[in-house]
A and B are shown apart, each in its own frame.
Chain A
Amino acid sequence: MSADNNSKPVLETRNLSVRYGKVEALRGTSISLRAGEIVTVIGPNGAGKSSLLNAIMGALPSEGQAQGEVLYQGQDVSHHAIELRLGKGLALVPEKRELFTTMTVEDNLVLGAYRRRKAGWSYRDGLEGIYAVFPRLKERRHQLAGTMSGGERQMVAIGRALMSDPKVLMLDEPSLGLAPRVMAEVFQVISHLRDTGVATLLIEQNSRAALKVSDYGYVLEVGDVTLEGKASELAQNPRVIEAYLGAKH
């Protein structure tokens, strides 16, 4: 990965702000992400982490207003519709997963490739790729997504996002509500993805585990980046621990 470190960022935000009516959720945030990199944004609830991802994807709720630039491979996509950003190579796994619960696992995955229509590519190939990463989904492909366990749902959600062949995968709290063992599995998948050249932007409150798999990290507090640095250094930083545990005396 270090080979890529000097290359241009694949995704960059410049001075990105998000408002919901009078409430400012994100204030002029600038982050960047290179190909094959895993970057984590950590920070307490309400710091604007989800707003950041939704603004990058163009998936803010209708009352949300984003300002500032979102550069994908150097091009400003901040006024593109979700469909266009998806087609370019951005994909988001939202915090609530947002699965099609009354449809089968396979239908969920197939719909992930809704925008991916290329000559010579069939969603069968895509499915095989996903099943190779998540063998359990292949066993359960005819089961309804709503009947799956929390960890399996997260896998379906990640698999669905991967079906669109993203260059940048954004994950919003992938470990949320998962038991430690399942959480470890999810993080393993995330670090495997790096080998396929996908860049991952990760939002986690489980900062220790997230920083462990990441290359770089940002700390977001009340809408602002207050700290950034190499993930390994950030994990040792007393301020990170403080931000979570209020260890100041």
Chain B
Amino acid sequence: MKMSTKKLQWLMFGWFFVFPFLPVPGYWITIGNYIGLYSIVALGLVLLTGIGGLTSFGQAAFVGLGAYTTAYLSTTLGWSPWVGLGAGLVVSGLAAALIGSVTVRLSGHFLPLATIAWGLSLYYLFGTIEFLGKYDGLSGIPALSVFGIDLSSPRVMYGVIWFCLGGCLMLVLNLLNSRPGRAIRALAKGKTMPEAMGIHTAQYKILIFVLAALMASLSGWLYAHLQRSVSATPFGLHMGIEYLFMAVVGGVGHVWGAILGAVVMTGLKSQLQDWLPLLLGSNGNFEIVVFGVMIVLLLLWSRDGLWPWVAGVWAKFHPPEPEVVAPAIAPEGYSDLPRRTRPQAGALILEVNEARKQFGGLVAVKDMAFEIRAGEVVGLIGPNGAGKSTMFNLVTGVLPATSGEIRFCGERIDQLDSRRIVRMGIGRSFQHVHLIPHLSVLENVAMGAHLRGRSSPLAAALRLDRHEEARLLFLAAEQIRRVGLEEHMHTPAGSLALGQQRILEIARALCTDPTLLLLDEPAAGLRLKEKEALADLIRQLKGEGMSVLLVEHDMDFVMGLTDRLVVMEFGSKIAEGLPAEIQNNEAVLAAYLGGVE
């Protein structure tokens, strides 16, 4: 459940700004500095791991790239630290883009493994390269200064670090609350759903990988000029693992969890490093035992980390309000949103011609042929295992056809991927609903409006996208009203009943402005009332001129609803016609009730 805890958040953040002005010992300021530095890295990990679903143990290496770049430029070449900042960001960004493009297409666990190897190899590299001072590192790094004002005192650096952290937080929060942000949130749900909304998942994965690396690099730059020297050790794999632990402890799915995790881990570490050697009677990094055990226990107890717990306690006293709200009246420019021209009623829109799909020796779809005309509701039915789902996947581009052709409004689509197909005007729902459960209905539906906007992640982070954002949210809210879910606009999607979730998916598909709507077993698992509501919605959409292809198993459901039925068995069409004809068709009877004599 998503809670608005704005006050708590800024209270927490504000405290860190008041903190250095209090008469606290210098040691506390040092700890505060490290918390800020670590939080910046952990924030990147929250974006990458908690929200985007990609895990990295190699963030310390990116911190190292940022630190070493500025260290080298400002000592050996004597350039300004500000050049070092830019150069560090470029180096880390390029490295991340390279690694990202190599690994994001592979399944989830290859990326973290690659980051382990990558983290180690960069660590050895830092320790080996002559001009980086080998394992001694580089020292004599100049302090930061702006317009001749020296920023070297720890208390002043504290301000700089927390200013940077505040900036990163703002940019990340802005980004997440936008069109590209919703695309990033959709990534955690696998590939099929976001791609069906027109989201280029590989690009967005590389984007968040680069963003996390940039934040790490910024932290490294600050570190180098705070510490005034760099060596390889703080950029090793163990630090990379600790960064991830911070994010997990704080709550890897929550932006503010990054700071909470950094506070907890840094505080704990400094205490343990004081106490454990006394307790055990020898020196060493024994705190890693505590960290390791703590992380295992935490994951056993609650996989969401500490933040949801803190926020939950807070929410008891300060009831949450919805964070994302659609404008009440159509915002300026709403009517200018591009809309597809509707084909004339009765015009041929989908033609399936001898489509075939083979998996090895198995022919799942055998030379299927049928068509859909504008304004028609067509049912594709058949017993389990008849090949309906495969046929559905061929039309939606999840699978390419082995042979034959499928045309939509005259253009061939049988080899296109789902991202291109949704662009042409085919919207779809899923048999097993694909929603982001903790986001509101509005935010989930707005994912469907991805292709209706064009604002870039940068524009979103800088809030230059607000006009477009208002239009997209209004569009989403319109679709929610269209399907009759307006009461639940701000309810988390996960708490709706299954029938409502199916309807939510239809609203999301409507946001893509489809001319043809494909529904995959929309009635499966629904109760009678829910089925009736769904049937009413489909009739209403038909009345508005929508064409619908329903893939269904439930004959009862499609009977009164469709204009025409296509019946499949063993991958082939066995009958086609009006529902009443199909009901009395011998072949269909045999297929459904069994023809074994």
Contact = CB atoms under 8 A, between A and B. Distances in A.
Given A23-B525, A46-B525, A247 B592 contact: no
Interface in B544-594: 553-559, 570, 583, 588-589, 592-594
Nearest to B552: A45
A54 interface: no
Contact of B596 (A176, A177, A206, A242): A206
B384 A45 contact: yes
A222 B570 CA distance: 26
A186 B94 CA distance: 60
A187 B596 contact: yes
A220 to B, nearest CB: 13
B583 A246 contact: yes
A44 interface: yes
Contacts of B589: 245
Nearest to A241: B593
Given A44-B553, A207-B593, A173 B384 contact: yes
A113 to B, nearest CB: 29
Given A46-B524, A187-B596, A22 B384 contact: no
A244 interface: yes
A123 to B, nearest CB: 31
B291 to A, nearest CB: 28
A208 B596 CA distance: 8
Interface string A186-210: 0100000000000000001111111
A196 B583 CA distance: 40
A179 interface: yes
Interface residues of B, number: 30
A45 B385 contact: no
Nearest to A25: B525
A244 B554 CA distance: 7
Question: Which of A184, A222, A244 has the largest number of chain B CB atoms within 10 A?
Answer: A244
Contacts of B553: 44-46
Contacts of B557: 246
B383 interface: yes
Q: Which of B383, B558, B583 has the most CB of A within 10 A?
A: B383
A45 B386 CA distance: 13
B77 interface: no
Given A206-B383, A247-B583, A22 B498 contact: yes
Interface in B486-508: 494-495, 497-498
Given A25-B525, A222-B527, A246-B559, A44 B594 contact: no
Nearest to B364: A177
User: Which of B527, B556, B583 has the most chain A CB within a 10 Å cutoff?
Assistant: B556
Given A210-B594, A222-B527, A246 B556 contact: yes
A183 interface: yes
Contacts of B554: 44-46, 246
Residue of A44, A209, A212 with most chain B CB atoms under a 10 A cut-off: A44
B70 to A, nearest CB: 48
B304 interface: no
B555 A244 contact: yes
Interface in A81-138: none
Contact of B383 (A205, A241, A248): A205
Nearest to B585: A245
A238 interface: no
Interface string A6-25: 00000000000000001101
Contacts of A247: 583
B521 A45 contact: yes
A187 B596 CA distance: 9
B595 interface: yes
A184 B527 contact: no
A180 interface: yes
Contacts of A175: 594
Contacts of B149: none
Interface in A152-192: 173, 175-177, 179-180, 183-184, 187
Contacts of B592: 205, 244-245
A197 to B, nearest CB: 25
A183 B385 CA distance: 13
Contacts of A210: 594
A209 B521 contact: no
B528 interface: yes
A177 B556 contact: no
A230 to B, nearest CB: 18
Contacts of A180: 595-596
Interface in A18-70: 22-23, 25, 44-46
A193 to B, nearest CB: 17
B596 A23 contact: no
Contacts of A44: 553-554, 556
Contacts of A46: 521, 523-526, 553-554
A207 B592 CA distance: 8
A173 B555 CA distance: 19
Contact of B384 (A23, A176, A245): A176
Contacts of A184: 596
Nearest to B496: A22
A244 B557 CA distance: 10
A206 B594 contact: yes
Contacts of B556: 44, 242-243, 245-246, 248
Contacts of A241: 593
A144 to B, nearest CB: 13
A47 to B, nearest CB: 9
A241 B590 CA distance: 11
Nearest to A147: B361
A173 B523 CA distance: 20
A109 B289 CA distance: 46
Contacts of A205: 383-384, 592
A46 B502 CA distance: 14
B596 A209 contact: yes
Contacts of A222: 525-528
Interface in A205-246: 205-210, 212, 222, 241-246
Interface of A: 22-23, 25, 44-46, 173, 175-177, 179-180, 183-184, 187, 204-210, 212, 222, 241-248
11 contacts: A22-B497, A173-B384, A180-B595, A187-B596, A206-B383, A206-B593, A209-B595, A222-B525, A244-B555, A245-B583, A247-B583
Given A46-B553, A177-B385, A244-B593, 6 more contacts: A44-B553, A206-B593, A212-B596, A222-B526, A245-B556, A245-B583
Q: Which 6 A-B pairs have the closest CB atoms?
A: A246-B556, A206-B594, A209-B594, A177-B385, A208-B594, A46-B524
